[in-house]
Amino acid sequence: MRNHVSRVTSAIRGFSLGVLAMYLFDPDVGRRRRALVVDQFASTRNRLTHFADSAYRDAVNRSYGVAARLRPGTERRQPMTTHQVEERVRARIGRVVRNSHALRVQARDDGTVVLSGPVLASEVNRLMSAVWSVGGVAGIEDRLQVHEQAGNVSALQGTLAHEGHRGAGMNEKWPPSLRLAAGVVGGALALAGLSRNRPLGMVQTLLGGALVTRALANRKLGEVTRQSGRHGVHIDKEMFIAAPPERVFDFWQHQENFPQFMRNVEEVRPTGEDCWHWKVAGPFGPVEWDARITERELNRRLAWHTVQGAPVESEGHVDFEPAGEGTRLRVSMDYAPAAGAIGHAAARLLGRDAKTEMDEDLMRVKSFLETGVPARDSAARRTAEHPQRFH
């Protein structure tokens, strides 16, 4: 039995290595794929270095804070200044309000904190509770501009108006020092479990892997595996296009032309009024879903949402703002990959994540709208196969 399991394991390992070799050494695009993998490894190394530095500084700062709390009567002997109160309030509300940069905080000598600026109605209660929990706050003067939805408020763009979209999720974020400690402990548990051939070793490996996954993704495991939580990745992109808003908006309405400019979009076809069927090449095969236009403001905004049950849940909007003789294009999107955060990480390693694709595709669109000449790359091959319908 043990020999049979060993042969199966060897076969799986050999098959996996063969698939990897075919992917990386493809005669047409192998060089580009290898370059992407090298770039991703270099980027990952830089991010890990930055994360380790942040974790170290976070641990040092927290140790100072714990030491200060252990000294009795510290705050009574050293009252906080208004500047200290303001900084503590800003730090606290940054954990419970998504667009905390839009809020203004002013502390007075009597301990009253003045809050002003735009905020979503769904975040007001969490905001007030967070401010009251800050030491040194004796009262709150409410001058907030409360909005039910983000609408056209520029400071709130990128915020979804769904109840509880952030809030609780933000409270589940771990600080860098805790993430580093969890990752180290989880990795040690997983390695120790792999060295054992008993059921206890398997359980230990699973626990260690779960801890590492939680630390890397910095979100609840249910959201990582896409069992809870709706959106996993948020993307914002802004670009200037030297073409009038009418032309840019008109182009965006003709979604059937997207495959001519988007490298991994194989097909987009209308299925009804404001409904479209998408077929996109993914890292492990084509993925298909249906999406619906939910908001259309002529020459100003287009918003979309995937239909219920789509393998890739996504929603977002595109704003078209006049800027001189051109258009300021703003794209905001939230999406949940088919395999959650794990799927997004795999796609990012292969250069097929949504952010990388959006950057490349928008540059093709910009080039075409400004010059009238389609890009000379893989997406342009479809232009020759399918005559252009956009004018």
- Residues 373 and 367: beta-carbon distance below 8 Å: yes
In a domain, 271, yes or no: yes
CATH of the domain at 248: 3.30.530.20
Q: Give me the pLDDT at residue 314, please.
A: 84
Residues 54 and 110 placed together within one structural domain of the fold: no
Residues 116 and 194 placed together within one structural domain of the fold: no
Residues 244 and 379 placed together within one structural domain of the fold: yes
Q: Provide long-range contacts, Cβ within 8 A and 24+ apart, for 57-60.
A: 57/176, 58/175, 58/176, 58/177, 59/176, 59/177, 59/180
Tell me the three state secondary structure of residue 391. coil
Q: Give me the pLDDT at residue 54, please.
A: 78
Mean pLDDT per 10-residue interval, the chain, length 391 residues: 64 80 81 79 78 80 72 59 88 81 88 89 85 87 82 55 41 74 87 77 84 76 54 76 92 86 85 88 77 91 87 86 90 72 51 68 88 65 48 47
Residues 319 and 262 placed together within one structural domain of the fold: yes
Residues 374 and 240 placed together within one structural domain of the fold: yes
CATH of the domain at 159: 3.30.1340.30
Residues 164 and 40 placed together within one structural domain of the fold: no
Count of structural domains within the chain: 4
End-to-end CA distance of the chain: 67
In a domain, 305, yes or no: yes
Residues 213 and 238 placed together within one structural domain of the fold: no
Amino acid identity of 242?
A: A
Segments forming the whole domain that contains residue 88: 81-171
The pTM of the whole model exceeds 0.85: no
Residues 47 and 32 placed together within one structural domain of the fold: yes
Contacts of 154 (CB under 8 A, 6+ apart): none
Q: Which two tokens stand for residue 24?
A: 């990386």
In a domain, 15, yes or no: yes
In a domain, 378, yes or no: yes
Residue with tokens 């700062």, as numbered in its chain: 61
In a domain, 161, yes or no: yes
Residues 164 and 190 placed together within one structural domain of the fold: no
Rounded to whole angstroms, how far apart are CA atoms 310 and 158?
Answer: 22
Domain boundary among 70, 101, 120: 70
Q: Give me the pLDDT at residue 171, please.
A: 47
Residues 213 and 250 placed together within one structural domain of the fold: no
Residues 333 and 290 placed together within one structural domain of the fold: yes
Domain boundary among 46, 70, 94: 70
In a domain, 390, yes or no: no
Q: Which two tokens stand for residue 309?
A: 């049950």
In a domain, 182, yes or no: yes
Residues 125 and 90 placed together within one structural domain of the fold: yes
- Residues 274 and 292: beta-carbon distance below 8 Å: yes
- Of 273, 304, 268, 307, the C-alpha closest to 286 is 268
In a domain, 123, yes or no: yes
Rounded to whole angstroms, how far apart are CA atoms 166 and 151?
Answer: 18
| Number of neighbours of residue 39 by Cβ within 10 angstroms | 11
Q: Which two tokens stand for residue 327?
A: 């258009």
